[in-house]
Amino acid sequence: MATGTSAATDVHGVQTLLTSARFELMPFKSFDEEIEHLPENATIAITTSPQLGIERTVEKTELAKELGYDVVPHIAARYVEDTDQLEEIAERLEAAGVTDIFVPGGDREEPAGEFESAYDMLVALEDLPYSFPEVGITGYPEGHAFIDDEELAASMERKAPYATYIVTQLCYDPNTVLEWIETIRDRGIDLPVEIGIPGVMNYQRLLQISQKVGVGDSVKFLRKTTGILGFVKQLVGSRGRYKPDDLIDGLSPHVGDETYNIRGVHIYTFNQTPDTESWRRGRLA
């Protein structure tokens, strides 16, 4: 069973997690500036915005690839209109040199077209003349606000054969994440896991982001995962500034354990890369 934060911090585990970390960015106006604060060899995940749609994600992916970054676009199923648009997206991504895509369902209340879920689109991708060596799907260590646990489990079992790894939604408790991994292992799902963690965040800045983003914004995101009250308590205890040290320390002893098969961490930066990258470099130093 997971020991989480009760285990001693493993220095090698910390180094492994933070050296291979992915940085998630939103494709907003600040994107071009935010990306400049990341290391040259960084892997960048680019979300699909409810306001800007899937086209902006593809555009920023092409830009980031031109700049030399390893890029993982989020191709959210409910934002893609049909198979023709999916094929056009896949063609552009392959031409740009993308080898890794992440396929969530998407927070859009009504789908833009024929894809109701990530599973629907994963099936459609199989029939296209374009393929990607790495395909990620979503995991929910603390459940989903609108989908019960039984349905989540069934959904993951359907999607797993089409995927090569899992990215977890945001969670602040390493024990919860580790226990969730044990649960999916018991169900026979052995995909590597990238654990979603928050970057360094100021509470006031988080509220500003939430007002701009709308549906699927960061506050709603936090409510669906850890709960806003727990988040606020942590921020108050850290004088209004959250740093994911406890998460990294709690996960570090389990890096390299084949049972958990932790591939790395996926940092939800909420487009605050300077503070997050400064913290990451400080921990590595």
Q: pLDDT (tens digit, 9 = 90+) per residue, 23-40?
A: 999 999 999 999 999 998
What burial class does residue 130 get, using C-beta atoms within 10 Å of its C-beta: 0-12 exposed, 13-18 middle, 19+ buried?
A: middle
Phi, psi of 265 (to 5 degrees): -120, 145
- For position 204, what pLDDT does the model report? 63
Residue 206 has pLDDT above 80, yes or no: no
Q: Which pair of structure tokens corresponds to residue 68?
A: 């030399």
Categorize the per-residue pLDDT at 146 as very low, low, confident or very high, splitting at 50, 70 and 90. Answer: confident
Residue 54 has pLDDT above 80, yes or no: yes
Residue 162 has pLDDT above 80, yes or no: yes
Mean pLDDT of the chain: 87
Domains of the chain: 4-281 (3.20.20.220)
Would you say the pTM of this structure is higher than 0.85?
A: yes
Of residues 229 and 37, more confidence is placed in 37
CA atoms within 13 A on the CB side of 243: 14
Instruction: Report the share of the chain in percent with pLDDT over 90.
Output: 67
Of residues 100 and 235, more confidence is placed in 100
The partner residues of 22 in beta bridges, in order of sequence, read: 43, 266
